[in-house]
Amino acid sequence: MRLICPLCGPRDRREFYYSGSEDYLNRPTPDAPAEAWDDMLHLRDNPAGVTRDLWYHETGCGSWLLVTRSTTTHEILATERVADRKGAGA
């Protein structure tokens, strides 16, 4: 399996650390009800198909990536840097 780092190009899976669902990017507001926080931390879909999750380019450039991939075909559909997304800090 290879992931395409927007900065480094196609790289071996061994260079990356898998963090988890993209849900971690969507934090509720601090005053959101406990259910919203519980959902963000614990409630996950388990799709047979397209999923989006966070990977860290650990032995590469150190970027956090948002990867869109298919769990059935193992196809990597898109990768983008979290820092490049609209509204990201900096």
Strand ranges (DSSP E) for the chain? 2-5, 9-12, 16-21, 50-57, 64-70, 76-81
CA atoms within 13 A of residue 73's CA, in its CB half-sphere: 8
Interface with another protein by CB under 8 A: which range of 20-28, 31-39, 44-52, 53-61?
53-61
Cβ 52 to another protein, closest distance in Å? 21
Cβ 74 to another protein, closest distance in Å? 18
The two tokens of residue 35 are: 């259910």
Cβ 50 to another protein, closest distance in Å? 26
Residues 3-32 that bind another protein (CB under 8 A): 7-9, 11-12, 14-15
Which residues lie near another protein (CB under 8 A)?
7-9, 11-12, 14-15, 59-63, 81, 83, 90
